């Protein structure tokens, strides 16, 4: 297996396993078994589980943001408002089989597995999301209040969490109504 293929295989295995079972629910030999990369090579690539977790979070940030941006654009090009399209994207996600909430929020909750490096990646992910939401809002709602993107980010994280807890999209629908109302009463 080429170094690149091994790298990819490990990150794919890490994503599937860490997301599904949590960090402390996955042992290094699970990663070996799922990726087909031997212990020796695994530890050659990442000198510790903690560094593998950091690489996973970084990779997941890129992947998730790209998916989210693309999904939103798809709904926008179908005629949706850019802000409300974020709810269409999240709706797709939370109804995906195997959905288990936000990997970053979940990881941060596993205190004993997380160090400052990880928290930094997690905070950067959420900062990038707020940034992206601000750009979406600016497109069609230039007069929205300055607090709007941060509030939208709060609402989206709340939706992600509550759809997990209740195993339902009801929280998403309520949140969408609220944001619809905010848009109607604040912007252009």
Q: How far is the CB of 72 from DNA (least distance, A)?
A: 36
Q: How far is the CB of 174 from DNA (least distance, A)?
A: 38
Enumerate binding residues for DNA (CB under 7 A): 1, 3, 6, 24, 26-29, 36-41, 43-44, 47-50
The interface with a second copy within residues 4-43 (CB under 8 A) comprises 20-22, 24-25
Q: How far is the CB of 11 from a second copy (least distance, A)?
A: 20
Q: Contacts with a second copy: how many residues (CB under 8 A)?
A: 50
The interface with a second copy within residues 98-127 (CB under 8 A) comprises 100-101, 104-113, 122-123, 126-127
Q: What is the 3-state secondary structure (H, E, C) of the chain?
A: CCHHHHHHHHHHHHHHHHHHHCCCCCCHHHHHHHHCCCHHHHHHHCCCHHHHHHHHHHHHHHHHHHHHHHHHHHHHHCCCCHHHHHHHHHHHHHCCCCCCCCHHHHHHHCHHHCCHHHHHHHHHHHHHHHHHHHHHHHHHCCCCCCCHHHHHHHHHHHHHHHHHHHCCCHHHHHHHHHHHHHHHHHCC
Q: Which does 164 bind (CB under 5 to 8 A by kind): DNA, a second copy, none?
A: a second copy
Q: Give residues in contact with a second copy (CB under 8 A).
A: 20-22, 24-25, 100-101, 104-113, 122-123, 126-127, 145, 147-148, 150-151, 153-159, 161-162, 164-166, 170-171, 173-175, 177-178, 181-182, 184-186
């Amino acid at each position: 297996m080429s170094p690149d293929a091994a790298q990819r295989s490990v990150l794919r295995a890490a994503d599937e396993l860490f997301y599904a079972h949590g960090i402390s629910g996955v042992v290094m030999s699970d990663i070996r078994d799922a990726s087909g990369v031997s212990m020796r090579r695994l530890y050659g690539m990442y000198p510790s589980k903690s560094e593998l977790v950091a690489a996973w979070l970084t990779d997941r940030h890129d992947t998730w943001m790209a998916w989210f941006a693309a999904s939103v654009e798809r709904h926008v090009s179908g005629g949706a408002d850019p802000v409300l399209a974020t709810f269409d994207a999240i709706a797709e996600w939370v109804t995906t089989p195997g959905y288990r909430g936000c990997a970053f929020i979940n990881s941060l909750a596993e205190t004993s597995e997380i160090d400052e490096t990880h928290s930094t990646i997690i905070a950067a992910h959420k900062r990038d999301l707020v940034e992206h939401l601000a750009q979406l809002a600016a497109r069609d709602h230039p007069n929205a209040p300055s607090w709007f993107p941060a509030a939208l980010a709060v609402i989206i994280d709340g939706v992600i969490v509550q759809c997990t807890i209740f195993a339902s999209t009801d929280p998403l629908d309520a949140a969408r109504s609220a944001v619809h109302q905010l848009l109607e009463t604040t912007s252009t």
